[in-house]
Structure 1
Amino acid sequence: MGPGRPCCTVSARQSLRYMDRGVDSMRVRPFSASGIHFNTFLLRIDTMQKTVLNEEHRRRGARMVDFGGWEMPLHYGSQIEEHHAVRGDAGMFDVSHMCAVDVRGSDARAFLRRLLANNVDRLQLPGKALYSTMLNEAGGVIDDLIVYHLAENDFRVVINAATAANDLRWMTARRDEWGLAVTISARREGEGALAMIAVQGPQARQKVGQVLPECQPACAGLKPFFAASVGEHLIARTGYTGEDGYEITLPAAQAVSLWNRLADAGAQPCGLGARDTLRLEAGMNLYGQDMDESVSPLDAGLAWTVDLAAPRDFVGKTALLARPQRYGFLGLLLIDRGVLRAHQQVESAHGAGEITSGSFSPTLQRAIALARLPLAAAVGDIVQVRVREKLLAARVVKPCFVRNGSILV
């Protein structure tokens, strides 16, 4: 999720400070906070898309920004407090700008088997979810996504907000090219529109059970990366924060009521700023920063989402086989005082690399980053990051800093 390179940036500490006091000095130009790029919305308010929860965000005092053409909450007063709420209790995010796509028909499995780099034949049980990349012919990442197996001829694919239109064109073109009996239905707008609310944190499941007691029988024993259909709700034990919780898909008309009931139960409304620092601490990729159509998943730490062993063919497989992995994808923990952010150059004993995502970590209280480094770079190496013509020392670590409330580095 998210656009690419920022054209104007501030430091992580500055961005957190600005967010907590309203960013008044940054209201008329693009800016980045926590490593993701936003545009101020004041000049484009009539052209941006809005989720069904937009007015609720405003009522709660959210700082609204343009995120990939969608007017979304950056924070509700303090990104730091929202971040810690998810790590220590429960927070909730409006992710209705993401696009749920229903893929149905007698050829649905054959279509996804050929379309995606991961193998949907791993989805045999109803409700099982699979994370995958969708590649172009050159092996670059068109998008990363989750596919849910609802029934044998019925799958739901959740794609990123900013890439949705391009993804749908690509999926439709491949369906037509291959002549398969498949319907592809986007569920973000219009009749039958769906909303999505992610509730994350060590107490998230308990709070959802409190608000939706009718879902408890189906969800109590739900394993990670499984979903349960309960009435009009699809409740998935997935997320983008490194904490336990649910991502709930439901009819858009019911979203405001659920949001308010979750808030009454103690789930902290959270914005995109906290979502980004949480996913960075968890070592999770952000589309447009850590990978895009020019980047192989093998060079973005996503080899585990690519099934090259099975005999099936898929779009991009030939290119991946012809061009093996060229870079490692690792974490950086800053030793010196400073800020890490995307596109800073990294110098190592094995050659040059580049930071793809970087920010100040509220949990670790220091700067962290994800970086593409030479294959020979290893955990424990000391590298130098070029920051404003200075070289700052950083330690190479595994690309996962915090999971389930525990610091791993």
Structure 2
Amino acid sequence: MGQRTALYDAHLAADAKIVDFGGWDMPIHYGSQIQEHNVVREDAGMFDVSHMTVVDITGPQATQYLQYLLANDVAKLQEEGKALYSGMLNDKGGVIDDLIVYRADALGGYRVVVNCATREKDLKWMNEQIAKFDATLTEQPQLAMIAVQGPEAIAKAQLAASADHANIIEQLSIFQGLPCGDWFIGRTGYTGEDGLEIMIPADEAPAFWDALLNVGVKPAGLGARDTLRLEAGMNLYGNDMDETITPWQAGMGWTLALKDDREFIGKEALLAEKAAGIEYKLVGLVLETRGVMRSHQKIIFTASDKTGEVTSGTFSPTLQQSIAMARIPADAGNECAVDMRGKAVPVRIVKMPFVRNGQKIFE
């Protein structure tokens, strides 16, 4: 038996199929992964993401610590609650984890949300680095987290929330999070739709989950979360990047703040890699025939004997065709095929994301 969130009984009551996910007993779906995917694209769905790790960084040198720890620069966060996405790198520039950090003056510094599967190594690394600074890292295990996502997510979450919480939701700009009492409400997500990620005391989570159900928000499991994030061109740690892959090779170059004198872990390695020539890149693939691309399938090229690899692949419920992310040699050319059981099936390289706000956006 794995760890269970405060919403475990609510998942059982909704006939969830429970699977192990990073040591947690989590819902993969509630009957139909495709229906759950579609409701997020068309209306509003909700996910239990209480397995994520929430930590607060406080103290006189909280900013300096995060500027050293992260490849993106928290000095960009000029407004209360504003958030940014960043890689946390090792000395070789590999991605230890990707995370979101919010400026949280009301909490005394910053709030950081990291992945559940990497919790132990993340906290070990973060605590090792913070020893050099006058700052404190405090995990917040008492918090559950519910993600409400979709074109109707904001409106329905306001209906389910108290007047005070609804007022905070009304104030939020995209990629901003603000506290309200013991709650912290972020206008962020992992689906390519508008929505919220709401950190809430665990003992209040079941009642709020029920309130969301009562206004028509449908539960969605990890299966739909994966197809949604892939359509949105969002990386999954352990698939699309890890400690051996740098942000340059993971489509995360846009998160690197390299143009100032700030020193951060991995910067020297990143600059050296760029100067030498970045060998691999992450691209989107579309399969325009039957079949489904899957992780670890080999990519072969017409004009080169070099090969690439699918990092994440699925059938897209929105597009009704298979899509994938793949890491390929930067100079291998654009005509390629995926090796599917020994057969070279042509695929097309496209710019990600595949879907935004429910609509196909690639050419």
TM-score normalised according to structure 2 size: 0.95
> Which of 292, 309, 317 is matched with 2:267 structurally?
317
Question: What residue number does 1:33 align with?
Answer: none
The aligned runs of 1:302-341 (5 Å cut-off) are 302-324=252-274, 325-341=278-294
CA distance in 1, matches of 2:260, 2:312: 32
1:268-297 CA-partner distances (Å, limit 9, x unpaired): 100000000000000000000000001011
CA distance in 2, matches of 1:140, 1:81: 36
Say if 1:217 and 1:377 are closer, same or farther in 2 by CA, change over 3 A: farther
Question: What residue number does 1:150 align with?
Answer: 104
The aligned runs of 1:3-402 (5 Å cut-off) are 45=1, 48-151=2-105, 153-176=108-131, 178=132, 180-188=133-141, 193-212=142-161, 213-324=163-274, 325-348=278-301, 349-350=303-304, 351-376=306-331, 381-402=334-355
When the two chains are superposed, the root-mean-square deviation of aligned CA atoms in Å is 1.2
Query: Could you tell me whether the CA contact under 8 Å between 2:168 and 2:185 is conserved in 1?
Result: no
How far did residue 219 of structure 1 move?
2.5
Q: Which residue identity does 1:333 align to in structure 2? A: V
Question: What is the count of residue pairs matched by the alignment?
Answer: 355
Q: Which residue identity does 1:195 align to in structure 2? A: A
CA distance in 1, matches of 2:222, 2:288: 27
Query: Could you tell me whether the CA contact under 8 Å between 1:93 and 1:271 is conserved in 2?
Result: yes
How far did residue 374 of structure 1 move?
2.1
Query: Could you tell me whether the CA contact under 8 Å between 1:199 and 1:246 is conserved in 2?
Result: yes
Query: Could you tell me whether the CA contact under 8 Å between 2:284 and 2:351 is conserved in 1?
Result: yes
Q: Which residue identity does 1:285 align to in structure 2? A: N
Q: Which residue identity does 1:332 align to in structure 2? A: L
How far did residue 98 of structure 1 move?
0.1
How far did residue 336 of structure 1 move?
2.5
CA distance in 1, matches of 2:29, 2:279: 38
CA distance in 2, matches of 1:336, 1:383: 14
1:143-181 CA-partner distances (Å, limit 9, x unpaired): 0000010018411100000101110000111112x2x11
Unaligned runs of 5+ in 1: 1-44
Query: Could you tell me whether the CA contact under 8 Å between 1:335 and 1:392 is conserved in 2?
Result: no
Unaligned runs of 5+ in 2: none
1:335-368 CA-partner distances (Å, limit 9, x unpaired): 2321101111111234321110000111111110
CA distance in 1, matches of 2:49, 2:332: 36
Query: Could you tell me whether the CA contact under 8 Å between 1:132 and 1:145 is conserved in 2?
Result: yes
CA distance in 1, matches of 2:345, 2:118: 35
CA distance in 2, matches of 1:60, 1:375: 46
How far did residue 408 of structure 1 move?
1.1
CA distance in 1, matches of 2:166, 2:213: 19
Q: Which residue identity does 1:168 align to in structure 2? A: L
**Displaced runs of 4+ in structure 1, greater than 4 A?**
none
